[in-house]
Amino acid sequence: MLSIDNLHAGCEGKTILQGINLDVKPGEVHAIMGPNGSGKSTLSTVVAGHEDYEVSQGTILFEGEDIADLSADERAHKGIFLSFQYPVEIPGVTVTNFIKTAINQNRKAKGLEDMPANVMLKKIREKAALLEIDSRFLSRSLNEGFSGGEKKRNEIFQMAMLEPKLAILDETDSGLDIDALRIVANGVNKLKGKDNAIVVITHYQRLLEYIVPDFVHVLHEGKIVKSGTKELALELEEKGYDWIKQGA
Amino acid sequence: MDLKETLLSSYLAFDAQDGPQHKLQDQRAAAIDVFEQQGFPTKKEEDWKYTSLRNLIKTNFSVFPKEEVNLKLDEVKEYILQDVDTYKIVFVDGIYNAYLSETTHEGVDVCLLSAALTKPKYADTIKKYFNQIAEKDASLTALNTAFTKEGAYIHVPEGKLVEKPVQIIHFTTDKNPNLLLQPRNLIVVGKNAEIQIVERHQSLTTNETFTNVVTEIFTEQNAQLDYYKIQNDQTTASLIDSTYISQRKHSHARVHTFSFGGKLTRNNLNFYHKDPEINSTMKGITLIEGSQFVDHHSLVHHAQPNSESHQDYKGIFAEKSTGVFNGKIIVEKEAQKTNAFQQNNNILMDDKASINTKPQLEIFADDVKCSHGCTIGQLDEDALFYMQTRGIPTKEARGLLTYAFANNILQSVKIDSVKKRINKLIAEKLGVNIGFDV
């Protein structure tokens, strides 16, 4: 589904990713771990298509297609979703209106009519329940004054609504207490299927107890220095990132 | 002959004509003297520092329409609120159009100023209110007074709640090119009375037009007034709107101004407090592009204690458009416990767009709460990327963010039909179908 080959990328003239290779197949859950500044967030931002980031070498294929020249919204239309580490506040746009607009813009890109209001409403209710989101929450301005946990739940709610093929969850566990973590992880697990893939980017092993990865990759100085199965995450937790840094 | 000369000689012809203007001869004569002495305002005057009329007054406008023009409803339907039952006072090239209008004298007078000036039963009201609050020494207001003949006359008697909003609409056509219109409106909202008014000036031609309108409004004790100005005109149409509101105790006057287009638009909006415990609200959205120009000059004169004023203007300027906001608040020494709030937030969409914004507070009382703030910024790039990752293309994302920036102004709009209309105009202006409800 996602095939990254020898990816070099960065912004403002600085190359941050120094040759990433990653292959994600439908139905798989990948975890990307690594110390601060290793390039985890850059990787997710580049895949999502931020125009300030430049790919200097290598390719990103999504379902066999080179997506380098596609804008972020076009990538979203293809089924790529990024859950932000720091979701942006948008005063004046309610959660409901935002997701309605997003859904209908995605449909428009596929040549479909707007989703009928009653279908939309039903879907919103269903997905909100999955994330244990109160209906009052839906009429608040997007992310404005939300707690850390509310913001992350709202990200996964949007993921549930948009049903992406590839979801990249960037530090979704940061700022979450244990209850919120469980709700968010539950939500993600319910959205997992044989046709979609999830890439979890995290600093800690904690989230991986709830969202169990098939593969774990360790990122250091813009490169994947180690790959393995979920046991690698436990080993990392035990030995710390210094172990990787020394090895590299 | 420049425009000033033309107007001075036109005044003589106007004065010699038969018409309702004769009732006001003394006031008009005094007013034309003021205009003759002052002429058109120039950028040397502090109040006109950022607003130049030089280009506008190069056109030799005429104050006399050559012919009376009839319009079919179909031709102008889109400019008239249709989905709500309203009274309408419609003028075409400055001349009252009975066919498009719906006036009344049942329970409330919604009619013509020309009628009010000539019929004896209105004489007392005219004497009590006409030209009582309009600035005598402001040259453009004086020019309007000098040529006063026609406009809207609305008198809501004590205790009357007028359920149907009133639309005041002025059309200009290509049959009378380069017309200078000078409508004069007089609105009196009696004690405990309520009314909603929508005003629109619409040019149907690409000829240069110039409207210099003056509106005097009196809200008596405990009266409620909601006034909506919809300004979305041709890029050849210029408007100078001077509105003067005199308020008595416990009255609340709310004015919303939606400035979405025109060549040059200047709004002089003035509130004068004649008693304690008065509430004044002024809100606006300015959304322009090209080389359009919109100037909001507001004044709230707090003269008595325990009053409030709320001011919230949002501006969005694209391409080479220019905005001016000057919010003047005067709090007299007697006006203790005044609560005056002023906010002006702007977004510049392009490098060549500009806004000059200036709060002007003159406070002589010591126990008051006055706050003001202005911001000038761009759309949040992080928010745009965030929206794109959800599949919302840049154009729509910009539209949605812009709409979100301005839409709190619409919350206090009481006529649904106006709210819908403004929503639609915003979506059209932004070139997006954001398609969601307020």
What percent of chain B is predicted at pLDDT more than 70?
99
What rounded mean pLDDT belongs to chain B? 95
Residue boundaries of the structural domains of chain B: 3-430
Residues 6+ apart with CB under 8 A from A48: A72, A75, A80, A82, A168, B389
What pLDDT band is residue A236 in, cutting at 50, 70 and 90? Answer: confident
pLDDT of A70: 96
pLDDT of B407: 85
Architecture of the domain spanning A2-247 = 3-Layer(aba) Sandwich (3.40)
Q: A174 pLDDT exceeds 80?
A: yes
pLDDT of B430: 86
How are beta strands B152-156 and B109-112 bridged, if at all?
A: antiparallel
Burial class (CB in 10 A: 0-12, 13-18, 19+), B344: buried
Tokens of A44: 């997710």
Angle at B43 between CA B311 and CA B295, to 5 degrees: 30
A50: nearest CA in chain B? B385
In three-state secondary structure terms, B110 is strand
Q: A136 pLDDT exceeds 80?
A: yes
H-helix or E-strand spanning residue B30: helix B25-38
pTM value is: 0.88
Which CA distances in Å does B374 have to B25, B140, B354, B399? 44, 28, 14, 22
In three-state secondary structure terms, B99 is coil
Tokens of B345: 């937030």
What pLDDT band is residue A77 in, cutting at 50, 70 and 90? Answer: very high
Testing the interface with A: which of B382, B386, B410 to mutate, by most A Cβ within 10 A? B386
| Arithmetic mean of pLDDT, B373-402 | 94
Residues in A 204-243 with any Cβ partner in B closer than 8 A: none
Q: B438 pLDDT exceeds 50?
A: no
Point out the least confidently predicted range of A106-110, A147-151, B228-232, B247-251.
A147-151
Residue boundaries of the structural domains of chain A: 2-247
What pLDDT, in 10s, does the model give residues B11-49?
999 999 988 888 899 999 999 999 999 999 999 999 999
Question: A73 and B393: CB-CB below 8 Å?
Answer: yes
Q: A247 pLDDT exceeds 70?
A: no
Question: A73 and B388: CB-CB below 8 Å?
Answer: yes
Q: A244 pLDDT exceeds 80?
A: no
| Arithmetic mean of pLDDT, B417-436 | 83
| Arithmetic mean of pLDDT, A88-110 | 93
Q: A31 pLDDT exceeds 80?
A: yes
Q: B218 pLDDT exceeds 80?
A: yes
Residues in B 361-380 with any Cβ partner in A closer than 8 A: 380
Q: What is the DSSP string of B206-244?
A: SS-EEEEEEEEEEE-TT-EEEEEEEEE--TTEEEEEEEE
Number of other residues whose CB lies within 10 A of the CB of residue A213: 23
> What residues does B317 pair with on adjacent strands?
B288, B348
| Arithmetic mean of pLDDT, B360-378 | 95
Q: What is the DSSP string of chain A?
A: -EEEEEEEEEETTEEEEEEEEEEE-TT-EEEEE--TTSSHHHHHHHHHT-TTEEEEEEEEEETTEE-TT--HHHHHHHTEEEE-SSPPPEEEEEHHHHHHHHHHHHHHHTTPPPPPHHHHHHHHHHHHHHTT--HHHHTSEETTT--HHHHHHHHHHHHHHH--SEEEEESTTTT--HHHHHHHHHHHHHH--TT-EEEEEESSSGGGGTS--SEEEEEETTEEEEEE-HHHHHHHHHH-HHHHHHH-
* Residues of B in Cβ contact (< 8 Å) with A92: 403-408
Point out the least confidently predicted range of A193-207, B156-170, B338-352, B383-397.
A193-207
The DSSP symbol for B258 reads: E
Q: Is the dihedral of CA A82, A84, A90, A95 positive or negative?
A: positive
| Arithmetic mean of pLDDT, B375-400 | 94
- The ipTM estimated for the assembled molecules is 0.96
| Arithmetic mean of pLDDT, B372-392 | 95
pLDDT of B21: 86
Question: A49 and B380: CB-CB below 8 Å?
Answer: no
Question: A93 and B392: CB-CB below 8 Å?
Answer: no
| Arithmetic mean of pLDDT, A159-185 | 91
Q: A235 pLDDT exceeds 90?
A: no
| Arithmetic mean of pLDDT, B138-155 | 97
Testing the interface with B: which of A44, A73, A74, A115 to mutate, by most B Cβ within 10 A? A73
Q: B7 pLDDT exceeds 90?
A: yes
What percent of chain A is predicted at pLDDT more than 90?
70
What pLDDT, in 10s, does the model give residues B63-79?
999 999 999 999 999 99
What percent of chain B is predicted at pLDDT more than 90?
92
In three-state secondary structure terms, B122 is helix
Q: A80 pLDDT exceeds 90?
A: yes
Q: B316 pLDDT exceeds 90?
A: yes
* Residues of A in Cβ contact (< 8 Å) with B316: none
What pLDDT band is residue A218 in, cutting at 50, 70 and 90? Answer: very high
| Distance from C-alpha of B316 to C-alpha of B401, rounded to nearest angstrom | 11
pLDDT of B186: 98
| Arithmetic mean of pLDDT, B74-89 | 95
Which CA distances in Å does A213 have to A232, A233, B28, B128, B263? 10, 9, 86, 83, 62
Distance in Å, alpha carbon of B288 to nearest chain A alpha carbon: 20
Q: Which of A97, A110, A201 is nearest to A158 (CA)?
A: A97
Residues 6+ apart with CB under 8 A from A239: none
| Distance from C-alpha of B266 to C-alpha of B202, rounded to nearest angstrom | 15
Q: B257 pLDDT exceeds 70?
A: yes
Question: A76 and B400: CB-CB below 8 Å?
Answer: no
The DSSP symbol for B390 reads: T
* Residues of B in Cβ contact (< 8 Å) with A158: 390
pLDDT of B434: 62
pLDDT of B93: 96
How are beta strands B339-348 and A2-11 bridged, if at all?
A: unpaired
Q: A66 pLDDT exceeds 50?
A: yes
pLDDT of B249: 98
Residue B128 phi, psi (nearest 5): -75, -35
| Arithmetic mean of pLDDT, B269-282 | 98
Size of the A and B interface in Cβ pairs below 8 Å: 82
Question: B390 and A48: CB-CB below 8 Å?
Answer: no
Angle at B179 between CA B175 and CA B185, to 5 degrees: 115
A48: nearest CA in chain B? B389
Question: A102 and B387: CB-CB below 8 Å?
Answer: yes
